[in-house]
Chains A and B, each alone.
Chain A
Amino acid sequence: MKHAQQSRTILPLMVLLMTSLTFASSIDRRPVAERLRALTPNDPMAYFELAEDLVDSPDSERDRELAQQLFGLAGALSPDLLGRSAALALADVEEDPGQKRRLLALADLLAESRPGLQPRSSRARSHVDPAAAYAVATALHEFRNGYGPRAIRALEQVGATELLTTADDALRGGARRFIEDCNLYRGGQRPSLSSGEISSLMHLEAALLAGNDLTWTDELSLRGGVTYIEVDPEQLEQVFDVNADRPFYREGTWRTSATGR
């Protein structure tokens, strides 16, 4: 009986030990230079794994750039398998906000498997959740009428506060200040707003309620002039800024052949 109890205690520990040993043995501990030299386009996953290792413990800016190239090459060499993962990984390490949006948009495009060459149906014009939009519109209305607590309650709707934040520029002092003011104006005590500010809030409210019937001026009021992201999922090399015809790393540069060309 006692022996059986000991076995029940030791068995999980052994399993844990074995798992750890297996995991440790799967980590490629070869030097980076050696792993770089071993890369071949027949194994795009190796590019991705090396890039992940470099990103996890970057020694220098050079490592980060190398990781970006490796992610890009992995995605370009195997678009179906690694295209989306590469886009997300590159978005993680990207510092430029514009390029980050572009990569995320690309990941979004590559998210769903598309049989053959059939494109997905066009997406709705607005990405705003109608319930959240209505809640924010209600909050603006109540705030203008001096019922801050009601406005705060309306903002408890899922996604409402996030939506309010996207309209930061249209609110005097931003979304944070708006929420603070809601706590000040209560019991019908209206905030002191200029005629232009009242109109601006009303315009924002109308834009939130517009749904897919958004006008240009609604759009300008709600989100400003957010630029359109152009990205072509069929030209991953261009988006990832890599040349898949140069997949061999030799003497610090990417080459077309393993022999050094």
Chain B
Amino acid sequence: MTDDAFLRFLGVAPNASEHDLLDLPRGPATDKQINDALGRQQQRVRSHPDGASPAAQRVLAALTVAAQRLRKLSAPVQPGIAPPSPVKPLDPRRPRRPQVPTHGTAAAPPQVRPIQLTSFDRRVLAILVSQGGWNARSRARLVSLASEVGLSIDGLMTVMTGLSSVARTSGHRIDVRQITGGQERMPAMFATPPVRYAPPDPVEVDAQRWRRLAWTSGVVCACLIMLFVTIQLLTPDRAIQTTPDPPPRELVSTPALDVDDAHPPRSGRAELLFVTASMPTFGGNARPDLATTSADGARDAIDYLNLVARKLSINDTPSDAVYRDFEVSITTLGHAWILLDPATRDAALDAIGAVFQQVGARPSASDRLLRALTPTDARGSEPLSIWLGAYQIHTLARIGTSDALPEPVVRDARTELRDILAFSKSAGQPTPDDAARIWLTRQLGTLVERTETDPRAFDRWELWLAAIDDVSVGPRYDRAIGKAIQTVMESDTDLGRLGPSLNVLGRLLSQIGLQDRPAVRQFVLELFENPDVKSRDLWVMTSLLAQHGGAGWFTRDLVPVEDADSRQRITVREALAMQWPTRETISAHLTDTPEIRVDEALRMRWLELADRASQLDSIGDDERRLALIVVTARLNAIASALARDFEAETMGWLTDVDLLITSLEKNQQLQPPSVASYGGTSSRSGNRSGQAIGRDGEWAQQYDAVRGRADEKLRLMRMLRTSAGSDLGPTDAAVFVREVYTGSPSEVRGEAQANLISIFGAGPNVGLEMVRQYRMRSMPRETARVIEQYVGQVLPDPRDPAWRAEARRELLRYVLSIRRSAYDTQQQRASAMVDWIAAVYAQHHEVVKGAIGITSLDGMPDDRASQLRLIWRAEAEQLIASDPTPASLAVLDRRDLTRRELVEGPMQLFVVEQLALLDLLAYTTTAERPRRRAQVLQLLESGARERAAAQHVLDQSRAIEMVMLRIWAVRFDPGVTTDAGDAA
């Protein structure tokens, strides 16, 4: 069948190369040549008498795929390679193949006379198709349609029965072209933005309806103009500022300033509005011909997929044609999937699954098939590439979440998806809808970029909106639209000038509701804080919402001035946040059911330990302060583990913390755990002990006595290998180290240096002398290398100006690590405590990532806390906060940056990381349990007071950990709140 189709429409064999399919000469071709060739060939197919048949659609899809491949091949032209010689598009080097007559071929489908549908029939069918068949939604719309034309329910049922009977008995399948009546795109000037959740009716509107609409519109416009003029005449203090060229503005009277006014004009007030008669919008073609014809060919594509599966099952080395059939089928389905009913989509998915089922043990085949699911033409000239790309990603994600497919296929699909979406492994596997939505939002940059210049920009937006509507509902849909609005607002285009971008903005704004959408509230408020959004654009957007947003509470006072500064923006934002009817309309109806269910026994144990930890006295030395941070940080890590169902692990950890708290209650020192218990390696591990043997000074005396005799010096140096221990006495060490730095001849110095590394590496006396005799100014290269070996650190080149400070610092640190005074022991214990805090945070990070047991101790606590913060931040982004607490994520980010400006030293940096974590925990908790907001705010405030009163940075650090513990307790609380925040 395929063979016939290719021969029939293009005169080429089915396994012809891409060049042959597109009738292009061999060799590289430019994008323009490919596009021209594609256009020519598509025209050839469409002008064929069977140009609308499914077979023709398969050929058209194959042409698209061939063009994509050629574009991919020709894209990376290396510099230096001779560019392809240009080919005149209308004068191909190869003669055209004669067109094969098609009439009378055996494969030609039987010609069936299409049934004649009335306009009403088409509308009924369109509703059934768009709503996925007979269901509650389609029923409601059909009843509405019937009442619109004055038809009774019985009459409607009669029509439907008739349509059903014709479809069943005539043997002719009603295709999309018939349903739509071959409708072309609506003129933009008459287009009405589709209502959210109610896609526009695709049925061709007959002339009578258009006339009625035009007449009604005229009457409405006339009424509006009269009303407007009347208002202006009756309101003397209003004046119109007419600005013919954009932006149109209306001067709204501003109350006279009075010093008695309770609200002095410190902030910007909306004095001018960006006035439009109606919400700007556009009407793109949401059903291009290629989509509708591909929808007609969807069944055939599914059949081909099943055929591909069968071929793969019997042939280990399938031909290229098999892969191309797969690719063409995916392209056909991808171009049409938004128009397909759920049953067809499921059938397509089953067929794709069957294909991958067959290639489980053949990675090369799997790779090749998966490549067909990789979007390649997202920036291409064909607007439908948006649907195709989303379908490919959707399918890829479906494979990645499949339990039934072979594991290697699933794994490869996940990897591919991660690569495309630039996800990290820890981000988890997105659902198919989420993956498609993420991919679609990634296309926004290109869409916005092209809006002002691309003549098909509205088509692209229309297709994007249809796709995003398909893969997201509720808050996810709102967030996607919000992202689109944000991208438009962040563009360089002046939205105050009439143009496509303004139309797109208006259309997007008409997709959102201002009443009961927490996600909408959140992203609108965040636009005020977004430094990439110009105040003028913000003024335009809020003006549109104030005029046409359909929310009475969104008054003109909520429109910032055109050139608002940051503080004016914040002021208006706060006013908007207050007026947005969130708490009254949403929170009042919110239940406070905890989202996290924790085993009650574990929760009680954790609470008991948290209570005991809070009562530990912080008076003491730095080591105790550090120990208190270790304990509270561990309890917070355990809380995270409980929240993520690591209940088995938490039992052991709770016991550990119990012991730690008991030790601290008894004022005992904590024993930092060995590195092995965290499964990692420590840079500080393995200090060697040094011990001197023999009487101090004897060796030095002998050595000084042989001054000038190199052989004797060498002998005495070698003698140390057998007679000395791992250290020397202070006098011997002084002489020995002198020879390490300045021994002469060089053989003696080399011998001393070898002894230093091999014997006295851990000797405290030798170490002290190494520090004392260190030259502050210059150092021979070989001695510099010996110091590097001695301290066990990679140092800069000795010629580097940084060398002297770094080498000396590392020498000091190393020697301090091998000394054994009480001070040194205390410092080493404190250092071990710091490592412990880092390890606790590392473990917390791994709990959140879901990969316990691979902790390493590299890095400082602030580094570890930073890693944890990044994950918490990403998780918080996924939440819908009806009233973000303590602030929106954008504000929290900015607050975090401000805090960093005041940081001095690593401990303060850790405190700042902790504060960011605290904010994110509060944000998450209140997003999950909005009615606990007051409680959480109270905890934050008391924590801030405690920090302000603290006298030591480590006390501040512990105070933050304690507030986090209290907020975790709120998050875990199983009690349901029924009033303003108290648990029932």
Contacts and interface: CB of A to CB of B under 8 A. Distances in A.
B519 interface: no
Tell me which of A137, A144, A228, A256 has the highest count of chain B C-beta atoms within 10 A of its own C-beta. A228
B830 A256 contact: no
Given A199-B824, A217-B830, A225-B953, A247 B904 contact: no
Nearest to B957: A228
B630 interface: no
A79 B827 contact: no
A120 interface: yes
B337 to A, nearest CB: 41
B771 A202 contact: yes
A226 B897 CA distance: 20
A126 interface: yes
Contacts of B900: 122-123
Contacts of A119: 894, 897-898, 901
Contacts of A137: 805, 808
A121 to B, nearest CB: 8
Tell me which of A120, A205, A206, A256 has the highest count of chain B C-beta atoms within 10 A of its own C-beta. A206
A119 B824 CA distance: 42
A227 B861 CA distance: 17
Given A79-B567, A215-B860, A257 B904 contact: no
A131 B933 CA distance: 50
Contacts of B776: 138, 141
A213 B805 CA distance: 12
B89 to A, nearest CB: 49
B666 interface: no
A35 B772 CA distance: 68
Given A117-B566, A203-B816, A215-B860, A228 B951 contact: no
Contact of B860 (A109, A216, A231): A216
Contacts, number: 180
Nearest to A190: B772
B264 interface: yes
B905 A223 contact: yes
B906 A226 contact: no
Contacts of A219: 905-907
Interface in A204-260: 205-206, 209-211, 213-217, 219-221, 223-234, 244-245, 247, 256-259
A1 B901 CA distance: 66
B262 A245 contact: yes
B212 interface: no
Contacts of A122: 897, 900-901, 903
A2 interface: no
A5 interface: no
B906 A125 contact: yes
Interface string A157-198: 000000000000000000000000000000000000011111
Interface stretch (B106-114, B253-261, B341-349, B433-441): B253-261
Interface string B817-836: 00101111001001100100
B720 interface: no
A261 interface: yes
Nearest to B897: A119
A120 B950 contact: no
B956 interface: yes
Contact of B262 (A126, A228, A256): A256
B408 to A, nearest CB: 44
A48 interface: no
A234 B891 CA distance: 11
B686 to A, nearest CB: 18
Give the interface residue-count category, chain B: 35 or more
Contact of B831 (A202, A217, A247): A217
A215 B834 contact: yes
B82 interface: no
B262 A261 contact: yes
B816 A228 contact: no
B905 A226 contact: yes
A40 B266 contact: no
Interface string B875-918: 00000000000000000001101111111111111011001000
A12 interface: no
B838 to A, nearest CB: 10
Nearest to A224: B952
B843 to A, nearest CB: 19
A134 interface: yes
Interface string B522-536: 000000011100000
B836 to A, nearest CB: 11
B409 interface: no
A257 B894 contact: no
21 contacts: A79-B567, A80-B565, A80-B567, A109-B902, A117-B531, A120-B897, A141-B771, A195-B821, A196-B822, A200-B823, A209-B806, A209-B812, A216-B831, A216-B907, A217-B831, A217-B834, A220-B622, A223-B905, A225-B951, A228-B947, A247-B264
Task: In the A-B complex, list the 3 residue pairs whose CB atoms are closest, starting with the nearest.
Answer: A196-B823, A225-B952, A41-B264
Given A145-B772, A257-B260, 20 more contacts: A42-B259, A79-B567, A119-B894, A119-B901, A202-B771, A202-B815, A203-B816, A209-B808, A220-B830, A221-B827, A223-B905, A224-B952, A225-B951, A227-B947, A227-B953, A230-B947, A230-B948, A245-B262, A257-B262, A258-B260
